[in-house]
């Protein structure tokens, strides 16, 4: 007992004793003090217990059920626990079922039958304080969780295996087009938000295969008939036995972003139309200029003029070449990025017969601008034009952290250290000066980067870094 008292002397919890038998109350007080607790007071009625709890706010109340006055211990306990969240342990000489059921309704933290031992009292108090601490932390956690759910702009949802909505955040009201959450609970997800059945079926197939989806695109129509573009990040949720209970996740409404993107693409198409008309007219004028230059060269007998005519013809042809080059890239950024099979867009048919081409990128898909194929065509053109002695080209891949690195390398002369960044600048180079510049621009549309890491004299090596989420594997 001595060791127990010394160990318990550091307790800081305070306890209020509610007992109408003064002698019993004093005995309980001495026992509590002996094991290290601080007693805030002794009261004999339920009314006093409420007032004392409000003023002293003890950590725990020991409550006799039968008290003097109009209010018994059960009634007082209900008010104390409900308004002050103070744990209550009942002390009683009565153990009948009716009294026990009344006490149980107030959610007590203990129920001790008189007479009781000190060890029973001590253990019950310790357990009650411990349980109350856990309950308080749980309530705080639930409050934080509820605040997040209620204030989040995205829509959190949960549905059972039959597709019935069992939980949805308040933001779902705006997404669905209704007036209250109650209108949604118990309804089928596909009844309140209709969608292309094919899209929803595919989402469920991915869930069955992987157990989760991340930013899966869906097109939904609310109850007012308005179309919403959303991304779904969802997963199965399980019960304590590990059995699947349904699906829960987040719906992120990207309708405004989608509208902005569509408007931008329409504007780009209009600009492309105007650019095409302008390019056509310029090329017609260039053709006329070259025609008249040819006539002038034939009629001129002055060698000095002939040299000028030659320079004018060369400059005019350069203009024509650059204008025709822009035709190939006029659709850059006007179409949505899409998943592309990396192996099938390799420029195998354009590789010269004296160059061995190897691509080890089977089963890799990359989310990029539809002109991704031009990236590899330009890399091939760069190797052939500037590699001088290229006989081998290899395309491979490796993972680096969460990213994918696609490597294009040849065995040509390589690129000098001071030019490794300049080659991506517009106008740099001996040809159009746009090839590698456009390679970087095409990749940048979907957040992909490129750099040159080869060793001068041993060949060019281009590393294309594809961030997480922009690539996936589909190997058999």
Together in a domain, 169 and 126: no
Radius of gyration of the chain (CA): 39
Mean pLDDT of 167-196: 80
% residues pLDDT > 90 (the chain): 37
Together in a domain, 405 and 387: yes
- Find tokens 């060369």 and name the residue: 314
Together in a domain, 323 and 349: no
- The packing angle between helices 255-299 and 303-328, to 10°, is 160
Mean pLDDT of 405-431: 89
Together in a domain, 461 and 446: yes
In terms of residue numbers, what domain contains 196?
Answer: 153-253
pLDDT value of residue 218:
82
Average pLDDT of the residues of the chain: 86
**Domain CATH code at residue 212:** 3.30.450.20
Q: Which of 134-138, 322-326, 335-339 is predicted least confidently?
A: 322-326
Mean pLDDT of 185-195: 77
Together in a domain, 305 and 403: no
- Find tokens 């002698």 and name the residue: 23
Is the confidence at residue 437, as pLDDT, over 50?
yes
DSSP for 180-192, please give it: -GGGTTTSBHHHH
pLDDT value of residue 142:
81
pLDDT 10s digits, 217-259: 888 888 777 888 888 888 998 988 889 898 898 888 888 888 8
Strand 14-18 relative to strand 60-64, pairing: parallel
Together in a domain, 136 and 173: no
Examine the fold and report which residue of 110, 130, 148 is the final residue of a domain before the chain moves on.
148
pLDDT value of residue 1:
34
Locate the DSSP E strands across 32-75: 38-43, 60-64
Mean pLDDT of 334-352: 90
pLDDT 10s digits, 447-462: 999 999 999 999 999 9
Number of domains in the chain: 4
Q: Which of 27-41, 96-110, 427-441 is predicted least confidently?
A: 427-441
474: which residues sit within 8 A by CB, 6+ positions away?
341, 363, 364, 365
Is the confidence at residue 300, as pLDDT, over 90?
no
Is the confidence at residue 397, as pLDDT, over 90?
yes
Together in a domain, 22 and 137: yes
Higher pLDDT, 264 or 369: 369
463 in Cβ contact with 440 (< 8 Å): no
Examine the fold and report which residue of 253, 283, 304 is the final residue of a domain before the chain moves on.
253
Together in a domain, 32 and 142: yes
Together in a domain, 320 and 361: no
Higher pLDDT, 5 or 109: 109
Is the confidence at residue 9, as pLDDT, over 80?
no
pLDDT value of residue 194:
67
Q: Is 203 helix (H, G, I), strand (E, B) or coil?
A: helix
pLDDT value of residue 7:
43
Cβ-count burial of 371 within 10 angstroms (0-12 exposed, 13-18 middle, 19+ buried)? buried
Examine the fold and report which residue of 98, 118, 148 is the final residue of a domain before the chain moves on.
148
Is the confidence at residue 192, as pLDDT, over 80?
no
Locate the DSSP E strands across 147-258: 155-160, 165-168, 194-195, 212-221, 227-238, 244-253
pLDDT value of residue 420:
92
Higher pLDDT, 225 or 383: 383
Taking alpha carbons only, the member of 430, 93, 446 closest to residue 261 is 446
Q: Which of 21-35, 301-315, 348-362 is predicted least confidently?
A: 301-315
464 in Cβ contact with 448 (< 8 Å): yes
* pLDDT band with cut points at 50, 70 and 90 for residue 5: very low
% residues pLDDT > 70 (the chain): 93
Higher pLDDT, 151 or 417: 417
357: which residues sit within 8 A by CB, 6+ positions away?
346, 348, 351, 393, 394, 395
pLDDT value of residue 60:
95
DSSP for 244-309, please give it: EEEEEEEEEE-HHHHHHHHHHHHHHHHHHHHHHHHHHHHHHHHHHHHHHHHHHHHH---HHHHHHH
Mean pLDDT of 73-78: 91
Is the confidence at residue 331, as pLDDT, over 50?
yes
Q: What pTM value is reported for the model?
A: 0.50
Q: Is residue 220 part of a domain?
A: yes
Is the confidence at residue 196, as pLDDT, over 60?
no
217 in Cβ contact with 258 (< 8 Å): no
Strand 88-92 relative to strand 60-64, pairing: parallel
Together in a domain, 176 and 95: no
Q: Is residue 333 part of a domain?
A: no
| Exposure on the CB side of residue 180, measured as CA atoms within 13 A | 3
Is the confidence at residue 384, as pLDDT, over 90?
yes
Together in a domain, 144 and 170: no
Q: Is residue 354 part of a domain?
A: yes
Mean pLDDT of 407-419: 94
**Domain CATH code at residue 107:** 3.40.50.2300
Taking alpha carbons only, the member of 331, 313, 324 closest to residue 284 is 324
* Distance (Å) of CA 35 to CA 112, 172, 223: 18, 54, 65
Q: Is residue 264 part of a domain?
A: yes
Mean pLDDT of 190-210: 73
**Domain CATH code at residue 461:** 3.30.565.10
Q: Is residue 111 part of a domain?
A: yes
- The packing angle between helices 22-34 and 118-151, to 10°, is 80
Is the confidence at residue 4, as pLDDT, over 50?
no
Together in a domain, 249 and 272: no
What gap in Å lies between CA 288 and CA 308, rounded to an integer?
Answer: 18
């Amino acid at each position: 007992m001595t060791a127990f008292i010394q160990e318990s002397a550091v307790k800081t919890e305070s306890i209020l004793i509610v007992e109408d038998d003064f002698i019993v109350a004093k005995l309980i007080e001495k026992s509590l003090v002996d094991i290290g607790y601080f007693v805030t007071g002794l009261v004999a009625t339920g009314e006093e217990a409420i007032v004392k709890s409000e003023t002293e706010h003890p950590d725990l109340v020991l409550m006799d059920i039968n008290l003097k006055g109009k209010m018994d211990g059960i009634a007082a306990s209900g008010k104390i626990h409900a308004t002050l969240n103070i744990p209550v342990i009942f002390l009683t000489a009565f153990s009948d079922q009716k009294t026990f059921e009344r006490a149980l309704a107030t959610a007590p933290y203990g129920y001790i039958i008189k007479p009781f031992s000190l060890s029973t009292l001590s253990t019950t108090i310790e357990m009650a304080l411990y349980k109350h601490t856990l309950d308080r932390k749980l309530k705080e956690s639930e409050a934080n969780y509820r605040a997040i759910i209620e204030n989040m702009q995205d829509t959190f949802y949960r549905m059972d295996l039959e597709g019935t909505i069992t939980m949805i955040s308040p933001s779902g009201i705006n997404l669905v087009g209704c007036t209250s959450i109650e209108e949604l609970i118990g309804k089928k997800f596909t009844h309140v938000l209709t969608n292309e059945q094919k899209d929803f079926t595919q989402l469920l197939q991915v869930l069955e295969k992987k157990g989760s989806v991340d930013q899966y695109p869906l097109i939904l129509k609310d109850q007012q008939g308005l179309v919403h573009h959303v991304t779904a990040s969802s997963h199965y949720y399980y019960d304590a036995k590990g059995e699947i209970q349904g699906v829960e996740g987040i719906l992120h409404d990207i309708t405004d972003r989608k509208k902005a993107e569509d408007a931008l693409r329409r504007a780009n198409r209009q600009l492309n139309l105007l650019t095409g008309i302008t390019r056509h007219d310029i090329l017609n004028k260039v053709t006329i200029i070259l025609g008249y230059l040819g006539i002038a060269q034939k009629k001129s007998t002055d060698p000095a003029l002939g040299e000028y005519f030659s320079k004018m013809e060369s400059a005019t042809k350069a203009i024509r070449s650059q204008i025709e080059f822009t035709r190939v890239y006029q659709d850059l950024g006007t179409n949505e990025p899409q998943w592309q099979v990396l192996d099938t867009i390799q420029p195998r048919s354009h590789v010269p017969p004296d160059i061995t081409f190897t691509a080890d990128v089977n089963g890799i898909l990359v989310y990029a601008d539809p002109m991704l194929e031009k990236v590899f065509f330009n890399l091939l053109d760069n190797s052939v034009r500037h590699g001088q002695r290229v006989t081998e080209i290899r395309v491979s891949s490796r993972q680096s952290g969460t990213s994918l690195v696609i490597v294009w390398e040849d065995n040509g002369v390589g690129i000098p250290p001071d030019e490794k960044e300049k080659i991506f600048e517009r106008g740099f180079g001996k040809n159009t000066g746009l090839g590698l510049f456009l390679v970087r621009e095409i990749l940048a549309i979907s957040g992909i980067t490129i750099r040159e890491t080869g060793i001068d004299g041993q060949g060019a090596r281009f590393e294309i870094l594809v961030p997480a989420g922009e690539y996936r594997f589909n190997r058999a």
